[in-house]
Amino acid sequence: VRPTPTRIVAALALLLPAPASLASAAAPPVDVRALDRSARPQDDLFRFVNGIWLERADVPPDRVAHGTFSELADEADLAVRAIVEEAASRRRLAPEQRQIVDLHASMLDETRVEALGAKPIEGQLARLAGVRSVAEFSAEAGSLSALAACGPFVGTLGADASGEAGLVVTLAPAGTLLADPEHYFGEGAPAAAVRSEYARYLTTVFAASGWSRPAAARSVLDIERRLVRAREAAAAARRPPARFTLRELRARIPGFDWAAWAKPQGIERAAYLLLSEPEYFERFAASVGQDDLESWKSWLTARYLTAVAPFLSRPFSEARFEFFGRALTGQQQPIPRWKRAVSLVNGYLADVVGPLYVRREFSAATKAAAERMVGRVLDAYRAAVRDAEWMAEPTRREALHKLARLRARVGYPDTWRRYRGLAIRDDDLLGNVQRAQRFESERQAARVSGAGDPGEWMIPAQVPNAYYAPARNEIVVTAALLRPPLFDDGVDAAWNYGSLGAVIAHEITHALDEQGRGTDGDGAPRDWWKPEDVRAFRDRAALLAAQFEARLPAAARAAASARMLRENVADLAGLSVAFRAYTQSLGGRPAPVIDGFTGEQRFFLSWARLWRGKVRDEHLGQWLLTSNHAPPPQRANVPLGNIQGFYAAFGVEPGSRLYVSPEQRVSIF
């Protein structure tokens, strides 16, 4: 189980070498001589700013999407690679630096990975093959959840929403390797083609691993179809999340051995479990109890093989890429090995690399300048809360109190974790991954039993991102994000407010939104909204949902707009508050006109530049089915029609495509 922060961008899997950036440090993030004049900013600011880039840029072959954030990730990855290579070249190394060098080397040693073939998974496969009872099956499912993150559910760790002491494990449905229900049940040729490619994938990896159950691939598909149906039934039943102790689970949801499943993960120490859709778990457990155990074993094995394939030889890793990469998303090439090595180090030894990255790439002056900006955005946010018409007065006082208590952490953590006791070997890739995974699971389990970890970051300093952590009431902005085009202390302030300022305000919004209402200024679970606040907020949010629904690509519009609503609210409030902060920073004086653009115009150009991005057509469907964030054009454009400053900056009038009639405009903060 892992805590999940809400991030400004979805966690991108792994990324690509950047086209070398030749821009000097003080060049603004938008070249105003290279705007797409075929689009009017009032109609499509996204295209006006990014049109020329969109025409020229290709999504790199190992990616499904590309843009501002993947370019930043590329830069960060190159820096981390240089750091590890530099460490590897030294004769004497501190033990923790030896860990990063060896973990990195174990991924790069392709020859050894190929020579080992299926050997690294033989022991686990023998255990799966030897399962004879539901209890043994449940124990393996729990063990694999801790070891390879491929168990039957998604677990997250959080505080108890009722305010009682102790941590709680929230379980959400998982269990299918394909995200789109259409792929399981669709009658058309495209769905049938996906199913047949999927069956081929399963057959290939089963054969490579020596898993020789008759019709194993068919059993996996059958079970996953049952799980999709269970999920649909749970969604239709609309029962609220329900809490159970392990003992209660055993009595009330029979079929699966919950205690055997919990033990390998340390979950038996949690006060209770919160099942997000109880109906799903009932159907899952009943099915495990009744149906052919051999089929369930093949299903769990397929999940395991899919989780570990990237760390195994070609028959596994290529089969996985050909199906989950090329066939499902249009990705043309696997992520290069060096990037996967960087990702491994960032994933499991983040805080060994962190201080080395900060020393190399991040200055004290940048940290101080970014902290000043956070302060100004917080000032503007307080003013916005005072002006928010929809909040009842007691709620407004609570919100202001929460903002006063909010901590902003900029760049890197105050203390760095160590990984003592984690054994890393340069010749044991899968062993490294599994030991590191278990090391992390045990640490999380220790938190379940109350041994906290104050101050630790959920995203490493060397990975570009930002998040809000409700239990600590803090926002985090990583060092790798505090770079051009998001932030540059040397450029005109409008550029920085339109990008980094909006990102900071977006994260602060999560302290005050429908999820933020559930914890107070000290991070304690307590709902501080009144029923009338809930109604007023939802009325406004519904207008925004309708705007997105009208503008998202056709597939799954309503569901996508509903899923993305929380992030879209945060984008709108973030943009609005950042604009207020920028205006306040001018202190009543007009901003200089630079290259023909006013300060207000530059602010919005920067916002559109922030969301520069391109998504492969094959991937867009998957994005709309799974992402919490709107695709780049809508993410950039739709909020603008609600911001009065945008109308003034570009003279937006009825008839402009981004125009929204005054009664349809949404203002939240």
Residues that bind Zn ion (CB under 5 A): 6, 567, 570
Place of tokens 């370019």: 71
Residue 626 CB, nearest approach to Zn ion (Å)? 16
Q: Which CB sits closer to Zn ion, 177 or 477?
A: 477
Place of tokens 């050894």: 112
341: tokens are: 């090595």
Residue 629 CB, nearest approach to Zn ion (Å)? 8
CA–CA dist 321, 299 (Å, integer): 19
Q: Are 603 and 494 in contact (CB under 8 A)?
A: yes
Question: How many CA atoms are closer than 13 Å to the CA of 228, on its beta-carbon side?
Answer: 17
CA–CA dist 51, 286 (Å, integer): 54
Residue 499 CB, nearest approach to Zn ion (Å)? 15
Burial class of 94 by CB neighbour count within 10 A (0 to 12, 13 to 18, 19+): exposed
Q: Which CB sits closer to Zn ion, 28 or 574?
A: 574
Q: Which CB sits closer to Zn ion, 6 or 124?
A: 6
Q: Which of 320, 337, 313 is nearest to 118 (CA)?
A: 313
In single-letter form, the type of residue at position 643 comes to I
Residue 338 host element (H or E)? helix 337-348
Residue 7 CB, nearest approach to Zn ion (Å)? 7
Residue 564 CB, nearest approach to Zn ion (Å)? 10
Q: Which CB sits closer to Zn ion, 6 or 637?
A: 6
Each residue of 488-527: b (16+ CB within 10 Å) or e?
Answer: bbebbbbbbbbbbbbbbbbbbbbbbbeebbbbbbebebee
Q: What is the DSSP letter of 654?
A: B
Q: What is the DSSP letter of 240?
A: P
Residue 567 CB, nearest approach to Zn ion (Å)? 5
Residue 381 CB, nearest approach to Zn ion (Å)? 15
Q: Which CB sits closer to Zn ion, 283 or 510?
A: 510
324: tokens are: 């989950």
Residue 8 CB, nearest approach to Zn ion (Å)? 6
Q: Which CB sits closer to Zn ion, 270 or 570?
A: 570
Q: Which CB sits closer to Zn ion, 138 or 561?
A: 561
Q: First vs last Cα of the chain: how many Å apart?
A: 34
Residue 160 CB, nearest approach to Zn ion (Å)? 23
Q: Which CB sits closer to Zn ion, 148 or 505?
A: 505
Q: Which CB sits closer to Zn ion, 255 or 639?
A: 639
Q: Which of 53, 60, 5, 55 is nearest to 29 (CA)?
A: 53
Q: Which CB sits closer to Zn ion, 491 or 570?
A: 570
Backbone angles phi, psi at 478, to 5 degrees: -80, 155
Give 3-state DSSP helix, strand, coil % of the chain, rounded to 5.
60, 5, 35
Please enumerate in sequence order all residues whose Cβ is within 8 A of that of 401, keeping only pairs 6 or more positions apart, or say none: 520, 521
Q: Which CB sits closer to Zn ion, 363 or 515?
A: 515
Strand segments, DSSP code E, in 508-548 are none
Q: Which CB sits closer to Zn ion, 504 or 649?
A: 504
Residue 502 CB, nearest approach to Zn ion (Å)? 11
Q: Are 490 and 597 in contact (CB under 8 A)?
A: no
131: tokens are: 């399962």
Given the DSSP bridges, would you call strands 474-478 and 466-469 parallel, antiparallel or unpaired?
antiparallel
Residue 51 CB, nearest approach to Zn ion (Å)? 27
Residue 462 CB, nearest approach to Zn ion (Å)? 21
Each residue of 233-251: b (16+ CB within 10 Å) or e?
Answer: ebeeeeeeebbbebeebbe
Q: What count of other Cβ atoms lies within 10 Å of the Cβ of residue 595? A: 10
609: tokens are: 């530049």
Q: Which CB sits closer to Zn ion, 146 or 668?
A: 668
Q: Are 9 and 585 in contact (CB under 8 A)?
A: no
Residue 295 CB, nearest approach to Zn ion (Å)? 40
For Cα atoms 417, 3, 235, give the angle at the middle one, nearest 5 degrees.
Answer: 165
